[in-house]
């Protein structure tokens, strides 16, 4: 039986979604209901960074732009990987880190964005990138680590910036 990894609704009990949206949800992902998914904004990250967010290792993302948005974000992986990630990571134990889910073009987790502020040296550990080279003009997008809920990866077509999550981002698996 499918169960939403975020709100816990099932095929048999979806009363809370009906209360929230006025209609029963459908399965947006294998374990993510449409009511939870469409409440999110989407954000695309290169792999393996997106996977590290889903693993709760990277609750801080850095961007050159600020957002006033606070709330749930559907973290998606881009169609492209960061080949140099080992060179820029702040984690000295990089070899010990479990290989993240590196699938491209998929939604991986839902995380609550709680802050957006200037990127600082103290963010080095949680952003997993060394401060040098990532400092100037960047913002730290801070996700509440406890709120990060991995979902079964499903194919999406991510968009630029913080995008609206709806049926249009769903993609057929190749
Ligand atoms: Zn749900
Ligand atoms: Zn539901």
- Please report how many Cα atoms fall inside a 13 Å half-sphere around the Cα of residue 85, on the Cβ side: 21
- Least distant ligand from the CA of 4: 1
Residues 110, 86 within the same domain? yes
> Both 58 and 138 in a single domain?
yes
For residue 168, the tally of other CB atoms under 10 A from its CB is: 11
Q: What is the SS3 assignment for 169?
A: helix
Segments of the chain with pLDDT less than 70: 134-135
Residues 54 and 16 in one domain: no
Q: Is residue 170 in a domain?
A: no
The range of the structural domain enclosing residue 34 comes to 1-39
Looking at the fold, whether 138 and 65 belong to one and the same domain comes out as yes
Has residue 172 been placed in a domain?
A: no
Share above pLDDT 70 across residues of the chain, in percent, rounded to a whole number: 98
pLDDT in tens, 77-96: 999 888 888 888 888 787 77
pTM for the full model? 0.94
| pLDDT value, residue 83 | 84
Centre of ligand 2 from the C-alpha of residue 104, in Å = 27
Digit-coded pLDDT (tens) for 117-146: 999 999 999 999 888 876 678 999 999 999
Percent of the chain surpassing pLDDT 90: 75
Q: Please give the structure tokens belonging to residue 150.
A: 């991995």
Ranges of H-type helices in 10-122: 15-21, 34-37, 49-54, 85-88
**3-state class (DSSP) for residue 75:** strand
Whether residue 32 lies inside any domain: the answer is: yes
- How many domains does one find in the chain? 2
Q: Which ligand is nearest to the CA of 7?
A: 1
Q: Are residues 5 and 90 in the same domain?
A: no
Distance 173 CA to ligand 2 centre (A): 24
Q: Quick one: pLDDT at residue 174? A: 73
Taking a C-beta distance cutoff of 8 angstroms, is the pair 33, 17 a contact?
A: yes
The C-alpha atoms of residue 78 and residue 143 are separated, in whole angstroms, by 19
Q: Which CATH number covers residue 71?
A: 2.30.130.30
- Smallest CA-to-CA distance from 154 within 57, 58, 26 is with 26
Mean pLDDT across the chain: 92
Q: List CB-based neighbours of ion ligand 1 within 5 Å.
A: 4, 6-7, 33, 36
Ligand nearest to the CA of 24: 2
Domain match, 51 and 88 both: yes
Residue 173 lies in a domain: no
């Amino acid at each position: 039986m499918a169960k939403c990894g975020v709100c816990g609704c099932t095929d048999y009990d979806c009363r809370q979604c009906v209360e929230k949206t006025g209609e029963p949800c459908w399965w947006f992902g294998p374990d993510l209901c449409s009511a939870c998914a469409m409440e999110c904004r989407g954000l695309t990250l290169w792999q393996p960074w997106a996977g590290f967010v889903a693993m709760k290792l990277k609750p801080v993302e850095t961007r050159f732009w600020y957002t006033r948005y606070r709330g749930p974000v559907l973290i998606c992986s881009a169609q492209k990987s960061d080949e140099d990630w080992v060179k820029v990571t702040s984690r000295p134990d990089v070899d010990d880190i479990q290989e993240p889910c590196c699938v491209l073009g998929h939604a991986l987790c839902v995380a609550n964005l709680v802050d957006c502020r200037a990127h600082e040296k103290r963010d080095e550990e949680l952003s997993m990138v060394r401060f040098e080279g990532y400092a100037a003009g960047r913002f730290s997008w801070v996700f509440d680590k406890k709120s990060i809920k991995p979902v079964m990866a499903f194919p999406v077509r991510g968009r630029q910036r913080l995008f609206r999550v709806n049926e249009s981002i769903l993609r057929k698996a190749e």
